[in-house]
Structure 1
Amino acid sequence: MGLAHSSNSPQVIVMGLDSAGKSTLLARLLTGQVMETSPTIGFNVGTLDLDKKTSLTVWDVGGQKSMRPNWKFYLDDCKALVFVVDSSDPTRMPEAQKALKKVLGDEKLRRIPLMVLANKKDLPNSMTIREVSRQLDLNSYSDRLWEIQACSALKGLGLQQAFMSVSKLIKKS
């Protein structure tokens, strides 16, 4: 299953459980608008220009349970993994932790940096990034460059910063 790569900017894959806010986040990054999204079947892709010299090709891959076996098809040429979690939904953290562990176990992602985005920080009951990183067991990934940041796709908070950090992680790795 080959995917056509149209640009030479580094490929960044956005993954996470369904309803984590991945498509909202991508639409917000690319257009500055909040879009009505429906569950992603397959993927969305776009090129994000961070500044004059830096752009990233960002793939947002469907997160429903039935879609997750397909995640591995998107990992070729992946330079960074962005894993989005809904920080307002602690009940799904164990499932997110398992999904993350599984995808990071793939050989293709061996030295690939990870950015975890704790989305929906605009909601009053959202977990702190410390809680999210504990729930996802991020400290166990000591052999990998990783960062965690809070953001709100709906409000557009923290997105630009997060992807600037992703770009820096790619350069470091």
Structure 2
Amino acid sequence: MMGFKLKVFVVISSGVVLSVCTYAAYRIWKKRLNSADDEGFEDVSKLEETLEKKVLVLGLEGSGKSTLVSQIVKEVGQKCVAFNSIYKPTEGFNVTSLSDGTSPTINIWEIGGKESVRRYWAKFFQDTDILVFVVDASNNSNLSIVVSEIKSLLGDARLASVPILVLANKQDVVGALGAEQISNVLDLKSIPSRSHQVKVLETQTKSGSNEIHPTVCEVRKVLLKLSSHI
């Protein structure tokens, strides 16, 4: 079957992000792709019945989100469904799919981390099943901003009870804080277990390399496992 590709543009100009029904357009596109024999007629009520999970990946600019996501997907040989063919991922958003053939398909939404983009993170919260927050564990100067952003996320009702996976990234950099240290700095242990399931993992990547670090493989395993129990 000839592949379908939907382009959704995120335009950033003078601090304004314009996105036109991004998530709705994506779900409708996926439904059409999976229902090519229905002569173009769709039952919208069935959109939520598909075995797909949405993973939202957030983090400040430079935390390593793009490299992590690309390597997680590459590990299982998945093709990237890029909705951001014009702007770099850190300036807009990118969507990739992950599946091992047994767990539900995971649609990974990676959103840019620039200050001008972070104010629009909330536009992507709806229907999130798993939240991944990537932290540059080697950059202590940004941790106060990370704390503020995470507190804001926890205060949003749309993310209530959503499992949170915090990645202490860039462990290959000398002086990077470990998982326990990041957990303490972000005060993650104070989050009630009845509100969120929180897990912190240490990660590192080898940008431009074909070799996938074991920590990235572990993140993939956790995401697939979580998606199967939601």
TM above 0.5? yes
1:12 and 1:78 in contact (8 A); partners too? yes
The whole-number CA distance in structure 1 between the counterparts of 2:65 and 2:216 is 11
Corresponding residue SS for 1:166: helix
Structure with bigger RCO (C-alpha 8 Å, 6+ apart): 1
Give the counterpart letter for 2:198 in structure 1: W
Q: Which residue of 2 aligns with 1:83?
A: 133
**Alpha-carbon offset, residue 172 of structure 1:** 4.1
1:148 aligns with 2:197: no
Q: Which has the larger radius of gyration?
A: 2
Q: Which residue of 1 aligns with 2:178?
A: 128
The whole-number CA distance in structure 2 between the counterparts of 1:113 and 1:166 is 10
Q: Which residue of 2 aligns with 1:57?
A: 107
Give the counterpart letter for 1:156 in structure 2: I
Q: Which runs of 5+ in 1 are unaligned?
A: none
1:16 and 1:85 in contact (8 A); partners too? yes
Q: Which residue of 2 aligns with 1:10?
A: 53
Q: Deviations over 1:6-37 (max 9, x none)?
A: 374200000011100001111222235xxxx9
The whole-number CA distance in structure 2 between the counterparts of 1:161 and 1:39 is 23
**Which of 77, 90, 93 lines up with 1:40 in the alignment?**
90
Q: Which runs of 5+ in 2 are unaligned?
A: 1-20, 32-49, 76-86
The whole-number CA distance in structure 2 between the counterparts of 1:167 and 1:112 is 15
Higher mean C-alpha displacement, 12-21 vs 140-149: 140-149
1:20 aligns with 2:72: no
Q: Deviations over 1:124-159 (max 9, x none)?
A: 211111110111110121231110000113363212
1:101 aligns with 2:151: yes
Which aligned runs of 4 or more in structure 1 are off by greater than 3 angstroms? 169-173
The whole-number CA distance in structure 1 between the counterparts of 2:88 and 2:205 is 15
Q: Quick one: percent identity of the two aligned structures?
A: 30
